Amino acid sequence: MLHDTSDTAVMRERRGTGRPVLSDVAKLAGVSTATVSRVYNDPGKVSAEVQQRVRDAARALNWIPNAAGRALASTRTHIVGAIIPTLDNHVFASQVAGMQTVMAEHGITLFLGCSNYDPAQALTQVGAMLARGVEAVSVVGEAHPPELFELLTNRGVPYVVTYAYRAGSPHCCIGFDNRAAFAAMTDHLLALGHRDFAVIVQPSAGNDRVQARLRGIHEALAAQGLAVRPTNLREGPATIEFGRQSLRAIWDRSTARPTAVICGNDNLAVGALLEAQALGIDVPQQLSITGFDDIALARELRPSLTTMWVDTDAIGRIAASALLDLLAGGTDVAGHEVPAELRVRDSTGPCHRA
């Protein structure tokens, strides 16, 4: 019979059925126990090569650092919380992925909560996360109860606001200017000669991003002496189905049918485009349609969808870096505006109405 004489086997044999400990990892990796501790508690002080050796040794021994022990030893939990509105939208998943990548590089675990667009639920989740010792928190948007920000401030817990950017905000905002983005989209359609508009958006109540988007549209139109007719403004679920229902309702009820429809996201725009085709409306000859987010389907549709793209992964990474700076004692961590990029495709064209 062949015997495994490796250091790993020897240590396992020596400890019998007992679990491996930190010193076993240190011996296998050829480093001190202090270095192993730093890899998991303060990885920025350890070279990438040494970190890899220690993590390889830990995996070989099936050793997992004891989170409770780490917290007691360092007075830190190495946990950061992120609260997003929904798990159904890929833009928030992308943001969380970006945050997770940066946090993992620094040995920090990311806790995720979902508010379902309910500010009260977001407040409840922040309280639950604080009870579990999160060291910092990110929340989406500014439209939260004042108690949420007061709670974080009073506890001395750093936080950032993501997916929104507003000059003059009292919060550290990492995101894009929703008002400016939708004003730019409206200006694009105005430049094509459109004067009759419809708008299909997500519910604006309790959602500062949608409120800002509507302001951008209304302000751009008002600058040209125009406005959206009440019958041409629809708010509801951010789904393909609601996009379809909304366009049909607008087309059936409107005394003056629009030549352009601005949608709050690509799902709504896809629904509007599909319903336009079902109604025999030529896009873009009779009707231009725009979305927001630039989902993969937007490029594959025929006609392809004019939309806007924001680097949500970058938002997550920048937000994570800002939180790390705040955790390191930074007091002058500035917000960061991520640009929204207009991507003009085939679903928009010149207005042909006489």
What integer pLDDT is reported at residue 297 of this predicted model?
93
The Cα 138–Cα 324 span in angstroms is 12
Place 77 in a pLDDT band, splitting at 50, 70 and 90. confident
Quote the DSSP letter at residue 306.
Answer: B
What integer pLDDT is reported at residue 12 of this predicted model?
43
Whether residue 236 contacts residue 298, with contact meaning beta carbons closer than 8 Å, is answered with: no
Interval 286-314: pLDDT, tens: 999 999 999 999 999 999 999 999 999 99
Count CB-CB contacts under 10 A for residue 279.
14
pTM for this entry: 0.78
Token pair of 235, please?
A: 């708010």
What integer pLDDT is reported at residue 354 of this predicted model?
66
Interval 51-60: pLDDT, tens: 899 989 988 8
Interval 22-40: pLDDT, tens: 889 999 999 998 888 888 7
The percentage of the chain sitting over the pLDDT mark of 70, rounded to a whole number, equals 91
The Cα 10–Cα 183 span in angstroms is 68
Q: Which domains does the chain have, with CATH numbers?
A: 7-72 (1.10.260.40), 76-176+312-339 (3.40.50.2300), 178-310 (3.40.50.2300)
The Cα 335–Cα 228 span in angstroms is 33
